[in-house]
Amino acid sequence: MSFELKIRHSKFNILKASVFLACLSPLGLLALDAFRDNLGANPIEVITRSVGTWTLVFLLITLSVTPLRKLSGWNSLIKFRRMLGLFAFFYGALHFTTYIWLDQFFDLQGIVKDVMKRPFITVGFASFVLLIPLAITSTSGMIRRLGKRWQQLHRLVYGIAVGGVVHFLWLVKADITQPVVYGTILALLLTYRLLAAWSHRPRVAVRPQAHAAMPGERL
Amino acid sequence: MLIKKPSDLRSLEITDKSLYMDRRKFIRSASVSLVGLAAGGSSLLRFTEETSAGVKLDGVRKSSLSTTETLNSPKDITTYNNFYEFGTDKYSPAQNAKSLIPRPWTLVVDGEVKRAKRFDIDELLKLSPLEERIYRLRCVEGWSMVIPWIGFPVSGLIKQVEPTSKAKFLELTTLLDPKQMPGQKSGVLDWPYVEGLRLDEAMHPLTILGVGLYGEVLPNQNGAPIRIVVPWKYGFKSVKSIVRIRFVEQQPMTAWMKATPSEYGFYSNVNPEVDHPRWSQARERRIGEFTKRKTLMFNGYADQVAQLYQGMDLRKYF
């Protein structure tokens, strides 16, 4: 029995390691393209946009874990959520770094002015700053220590994701296709949560007779 | 929307457009294959593949109006383009612009002029001596390039048609043909792309009609076969693939003013002190450089053009 457990355990580790590598691959491909001088005429723009987009993608993937878990019944998906969330933070930190370094060249005054004056930067900046406490409190120790408050704190991620989409929407010149696609996915993920919360609302007056058949249960 | 009087309509526009375009395509492919057969060589086949880019322009003069700054590479200039008719991504036009047929091409010049005229592209090439003009190009998005254009001053064309006393502005229009310009199937902008200039801006010696780049015929993604280049204004003022120049009395409505009136004004002069509502215009990244450089007033052409805007509040007339 212990042997079987061991195998299952190692299988899981291989899976986890594969997901980890997959999450790292966008950066790897970007680095490869940079090395091959394959980033086009404006490589800094490509790098900034790419890591920014991946931040948003990882935020959305992270927010998909719970709905996917509930819909598929595959509960071990939850074991990947922390890693996915931390990758959102990782790509966000890279995006933030390209801004501070390659766009502003550490000009603190310029950065402050930008954050105050440009709504798209204000929103992007705030969203990244709010990701920091979530990353810091992602350890098992912190989860234990914070108890109920951990979940309350980590609900910030909804606002952060909305901020990410708004940041994207406000920076494009005319073609809003991409931010609208991300916004739609986010809206679906948030709607799922609203529906789930609604179907689990305390019902005192009328007790449903066929509880198991309630559609909200398997949402 | 432009509502035309019947007297403004020309036979070309009455002919069903798709019929007309198919005829063009047929003539082109027929002549190209004939030429290809006759030549049997690779040089002319290259012509067919890349439409007309790659063909040398002869007898091009140097100009004292050129900058001596380091040029951007042909690759940078031909692969990093804002040409929404071929997609909103800057790398799309280089891939998608093959569908444009730059020859034969007619430019209609009409409106408040004594002698309205239709110019064939080859006629235009002989209108004035061709000059190389190495200009800075500053995009409203905050990047810039140095580009060796080939062209001739717009003033040469304007003199040919003799504007009337009512002509105060020029309205410049890009081709409208979603078959050739697939980006026009999307509603990103209200097609066709329209831009405008004041008559004195168009008459300025720096303002040219561009027909070439790096000694060769203009590649499709750069606005073949004919575009305008106004180096002291943001790049979007420099209309590509022009089919019509209309002289008008009232300031024309432009594509970007229609799309976002609060962000794009008629003048759009490069000005480091007047920001885009959403981003700063104080600095720019010269393509190929790592750090950013300061943006210059009128893109560095203040000595030549500042007098055009004397007494104007450039924050109001952005």
- Residue B33, in any domain of the structure: yes
Q: What percent of chain B has pLDDT over 70?
A: 83
Contact A41 B290 (CB under 8 A): no
Looking at the predicted structure, is the pLDDT value of residue A215 above 50? no
Residue of A nearest to B259 (CA): A174
Give the per-residue pLDDT at B92.
95
Give the per-residue pLDDT at A7.
52
**Number of structural domains in chain B:** 2
Looking at the predicted structure, is the pLDDT value of residue B28 above 70? no
Category of A160 on φ-ψ map: left (φ > 0), alpha (ψ -120 to 50) or beta: alpha
Contact A174 B75 (CB under 8 A): no
Q: Report the residue from A102, A170, A177 with minimal CB separation from B278.
A: A170
pLDDT in tens, A53-110: 999 999 999 999 999 999 999 998 999 999 999 999 999 999 999 999 999 999 999 8
CA dist B64 and B131 (Å) reads 10
- Residue A137, in any domain of the structure: yes
Q: What number of CA atoms fall less than 13 Å from residue B306's CA on the CB side? A: 8
Looking at the predicted structure, is the pLDDT value of residue A39 above 90? yes
pLDDT in tens, B156-174: 999 999 999 999 999 999 9
A174-188, A201-215, B188-202, B227-241: least confidently modelled range: A201-215
pTM: 0.82
- Residue B318, in any domain of the structure: no
Taking alpha carbons only, the member of A19, A49, A18, A21 closest to residue A33 is A49
pLDDT in tens, B53-72: 679 999 999 999 999 999 99
Give the per-residue pLDDT at B64.
96
For residues A150-161, give the mean pLDDT. Answer: 96
Residues B61 and B41 in one domain: no
Contact A44 B279 (CB under 8 A): no
Residues B21 and B107 in one domain: no
By the 8 A CB rule, do B155 and B128 touch?
no
**Number of structural domains in chain A:** 1
**Å between B305 CA and nearest CA of chain A:** 28
Give the per-residue pLDDT at A43.
94
The CATH code of the domain that includes B225 is 3.90.420.10
Residues B45 and B76 in one domain: no
- Residue A69, in any domain of the structure: yes
Q: Report the residue from B80, B141, B288 with minimal CB separation from A173.
A: B141
Q: Alpha carbon of A118 to those of A11, A114, A123, A165, B50: distances in Å?
A: 48, 5, 9, 16, 42
- Residue A31, in any domain of the structure: no
Chain B residue numbers with beta carbons less than 8 Å from the beta carbon of A178 are none
Looking at the predicted structure, is the pLDDT value of residue B6 above 90? no
For chain A, what is the mean pLDDT?
Answer: 88
Position with higher pLDDT, A211 vs B233: B233
Residues B165 and B45 in one domain: no
By the 8 A CB rule, do A217 and A196 touch?
no
Residues B41 and B66 in one domain: no
- Residue B315, in any domain of the structure: no
Q: What percent of chain A has pLDDT over 70?
A: 87
Q: How confident is the model at residue B42 (pLDDT cuts 50, 70, 90)?
A: very low
A41 touches chain B (CB under 8 A): yes
Looking at the predicted structure, is the pLDDT value of residue B19 above 60? no
Chain A residue numbers with beta carbons less than 8 Å from the beta carbon of B261 are none
- Residue A113, in any domain of the structure: yes
Domain final position from B49, B71, B91: B49
**Å between A65 CA and nearest CA of chain B:** 31
For chain B, what is the mean pLDDT?
Answer: 88
CA dist B223 and B218 (Å) reads 7
Residues B148 and B45 in one domain: no
Residue A152: φ, ψ to 5°: -60, -45
Looking at the predicted structure, is the pLDDT value of residue A5 above 90? no
Domain residues for the domain of A129 are 43-199
Chain A residue numbers with beta carbons less than 8 Å from the beta carbon of B260 are 174
Residue of A nearest to B280 (CA): A114
Residues B173 and B302 in one domain: yes
Residues B41 and B132 in one domain: no
pLDDT in tens, A72-88: 999 989 999 999 999 99
Q: Report the residue from B76, B279, B285 with minimal CB separation from A44.
A: B285
B272 touches chain A (CB under 8 A): no
Chain A residue numbers with beta carbons less than 8 Å from the beta carbon of B287 are 41-42
pLDDT in tens, B196-254: 999 999 999 999 999 999 999 999 999 999 999 999 999 999 999 999 999 999 999 99
Give the per-residue pLDDT at A216.
38
Give the per-residue pLDDT at B22.
53
B interface test, pick of A121, A173, A176, A177 with most B CB neighbours within 10 Å: A173
Contact B285 A170 (CB under 8 A): no
Looking at the predicted structure, is the pLDDT value of residue B16 above 70? no
Residues B132 and B42 in one domain: no
Q: Report the residue from B75, B76, B189 with minimal CB separation from A174.
A: B189
- Residue A61, in any domain of the structure: yes
Q: What percent of chain B has pLDDT over 90?
A: 82
Residues B78 and B195 in one domain: yes
B291 touches chain A (CB under 8 A): yes
Residue of B nearest to A42 (CA): B287
Domain residues for the domain of B45 are 15-49
Residues B130 and B101 in one domain: yes
Q: How confident is the model at residue B31 (pLDDT cuts 50, 70, 90)?
A: very low
For residues A145-150, give the mean pLDDT. Answer: 93
A11-15, A148-152, B164-168: least confidently modelled range: A11-15
Residues B185 and B293 in one domain: yes
Give the per-residue pLDDT at B46.
36
pLDDT in tens, B119-155: 999 999 999 999 999 999 999 999 999 999 999 999 9
The ipTM, to two decimals, is 0.80
For residues B303-308, give the mean pLDDT. Answer: 97
Q: How confident is the model at residue A201 (pLDDT cuts 50, 70, 90)?
A: confident
Contact B80 A173 (CB under 8 A): no
- Residue A68, in any domain of the structure: yes
Q: Report the residue from A40, A174, A175 with minimal CB separation from B91.
A: A40
The burial of B77, by beta-carbon neighbours within 10 Å (0-12 exposed, 13-18 middle, 19 or more buried), is given as buried
Residue B109: φ, ψ to 5°: -120, 115
- Residue B178, in any domain of the structure: yes
- Residue A6, in any domain of the structure: no
Residue of B nearest to A41 (CA): B76
Residue of B nearest to A37 (CA): B288
Give the per-residue pLDDT at B3.
53
A45 touches chain B (CB under 8 A): yes
CA angle B108, B113, B116 (to 5 degrees): 35
- Residue A134, in any domain of the structure: yes
Q: How confident is the model at residue B25 (pLDDT cuts 50, 70, 90)?
A: low
